[in-house]
Amino acid sequence: MKAKDRPEPTLFVLFGGTGDLAWRKLVPALFDLYIDGHLPNPFGILAVGRGDFDDASLSRHYREGVDRHSRRGIARDEDWGAFAAQIHFLRGDPGSQEIYASLAEACARLDQEWQVKAQRIFYMATPPDLFGVIPKYLKEAGLAQDLERARIVVEKPIGCDLASALSLNATLGDCCQEAQIFRIDHYLGKETVQNILAFRFANPMFEPIWNRRYVDYVTITVAEAVGVAHRGGYYEKAGALRDMVQNHLMQILCLVAMEPMVSFQADEIRNKKVDVLHAIRPIPRDEVSQYAIRGQYNEGWMDGQKVPGYREEAGVGHHSQTETFVALKLLVDNWRWKDVPFYLRTGKRMPRQVSEVAIQFRAVPHQCFPAEATQDWQPSRLIMLIQPEQGIILRFQAKQPGPKMHLRTSEMRFDYSQAFANPSPDPYETLLWDVMKGDTTLFMRPDQVEAAWQVLAPILDVWSSATPNDFPNYPAGTWGPEATQGLLAKQGHRWPLPVDLAGSPDKGQP
């Protein structure tokens, strides 16, 4: 299958079509693509789900989701009317084989109505236990075999460990060709995550210093202010390592650490990314505590409000051992990165939402300024702001104005919102458009998913066999357990205080 510049006529079959992901993310993204003129003509949504809807009531339900979650805000009636005319509902359980004959009929009927053989995108917005079931039934119903026209989209988590990921990938591979499978990690659709490649490989001046000779260490922070909200049931089984590190943080790490690609071909980029995962030094089981720290939030204060601890959240056990915070130290054993630590951390109920990558450069090899000039001296740092602020900051030393030589940290900023007039699309817009065009560049390949599980396998093993005796170990509204500092302090490193462009006083200690 070759990626196209524009999508062909498309029927978007949405399993779990009455669920939260469809309502909050997928339909608003499709609607925004429609408004921007990116959807093919004809285009239709066929939602499959168990909810009590018909075409009209489902489109009213979707309209609420769009009004609430589209980046454009409330939809205009005439726009919505034209879009909603192509929303169809098929009631049934995607986990039961019976529905697939009706699905095949509905697909054929629309082809006939449209007078075209539309491509069909089967999107599994369902609980993960159906990811291995739906593709089998699609295959049995003869809906999966058309290499050019049938595509299957699977959301993370791809398995819950290496063995289950291998098994799911094998099932998917039995049902269709790899080129038809799109494994979504929505972080890859974020503009600022894609910009890591642009920044590194479209500007020759950074490449010569992007290595162990100049970089001391790298930190990747993905902090969320929210707790688990209504997702306690899912999260209890996942935890932060599976929910965030295995996919989102590993993807960012790959983009920061990968070698330059030779071309912009999907597999070329994905090869370079998987090379990084293969180069990560395996963590010995008896040393896991020196590489990985887990935490769980307790009750605490956020924005002047008291918030409950994780164990008090809906769907969470009173003695839950699930981690809501992870900090890791990883080493990438190759010529570029040997002995440069990559520190990753993610957690819920941190003081604020902030995702950023900080490249901490080494100190100058010889300090030639007088001691009094360098009292506030800090090595240079490059910070890639992923969200909510989007941009890049370079912190460096500059001479403070005055008769004496005194150095102070200064910075240069690139801010997306000021640099570009057009707003950033939601990641799902980008990714859904790519699925429609058949472009797999921003999707996870099975070997990459498996390599990421392989890296985490020792931690998962050790953590599942030894219950943490200090949970909950960080109050909501702080930057995680104290032990996190020790992970870096041994090498004389420290977590940077995450950037706050809004300039509000930082809450809590990093």
The set of catalytic residues is 248
> Is the Cβ of residue 186 or residue 329 nearer to ligand BG6 in the bound state?
186
Binding map of ligand BG6 across residues 78-97, x = CB under 6 A, - = no contact: --------------------
Q: Closest CB to ligand BG6 belongs to which residue?
A: 243
SS (H, E, C) 137-182: HHHHCCCCCCCCCEEEEEECCCCCCHHHHHHHHHHHHHHCCHHHEE
Smallest gap, in angstroms, from Cβ of residue 322 to ligand BG6?
A: 12
**Phi then psi for 154, rounded to 5 degrees?**
-125, 135
Smallest gap, in angstroms, from Cβ of residue 307 to ligand BG6?
A: 16
> Is the Cβ of residue 186 or residue 406 nearer to ligand BG6 in the bound state?
186
Contact by Cβ (8 Å): 220, 383:
no
> Is the Cβ of residue 224 or residue 313 nearer to ligand BG6 in the bound state?
224
434 binds ligand BG6 (CB under 6 A): no
Footprint of ligand BG6 on residues 230-289 (CB under 6 A)? 243
313 binds ligand BG6 (CB under 6 A): no
d(CA 24, CA 67): 10
What ranges make up the beta strands (E) of 250-372? 292-295, 297-298, 300-302, 305-307, 325-331, 341-347, 354-361
The answer for residues whose C-beta is within 8 angstroms of residue 204's C-beta and 6 or more apart is none
356 binds ligand BG6 (CB under 6 A): no
Orientation of helix 77-84 relative to helix 27-35, angle to 10°: 110
* Structure token digits, residue 182: 């799109």
d(CA 466, CA 464): 6
**DSSP alpha helices (H): ranges in 441-500?**
446-465, 483-489
> Is the Cβ of residue 243 or residue 313 nearer to ligand BG6 in the bound state?
243
Smallest gap, in angstroms, from Cβ of residue 352 to ligand BG6?
A: 13
d(CA 154, CA 229): 23
d(CA 182, CA 449): 12
d(CA 273, CA 201): 14
d(CA 100, CA 115): 22
Smallest gap, in angstroms, from Cβ of residue 324 to ligand BG6?
A: 10
Q: Give me the residues paired with residue 391 across strands.
A: 385, 415
Smallest gap, in angstroms, from Cβ of residue 277 to ligand BG6?
A: 19
> Is the Cβ of residue 347 or residue 510 nearer to ligand BG6 in the bound state?
347
> Is the Cβ of residue 155 or residue 439 nearer to ligand BG6 in the bound state?
155
Residues that contact ligand BG6, how many (by CB under 6 A): 3
389 binds ligand BG6 (CB under 6 A): no
Smallest gap, in angstroms, from Cβ of residue 163 to ligand BG6?
A: 21
Binding map of ligand BG6 across residues 177-206, x = CB under 6 A, - = no contact: ---------x--------------------
d(CA 293, CA 485): 10
> Is the Cβ of residue 139 or residue 156 nearer to ligand BG6 in the bound state?
156
Binding map of ligand BG6 across residues 129-168, x = CB under 6 A, - = no contact: ----------------------------------------
Residue whose token pair is 């910075």? 411
Smallest gap, in angstroms, from Cβ of residue 243 to ligand BG6?
A: 5
224 binds ligand BG6 (CB under 6 A): yes
Q: Is the peptide bond before 157 cis (omega within 30 degrees of 0)?
A: yes
Interface with ligand BG6 (CB under 6 A) = 186, 224, 243
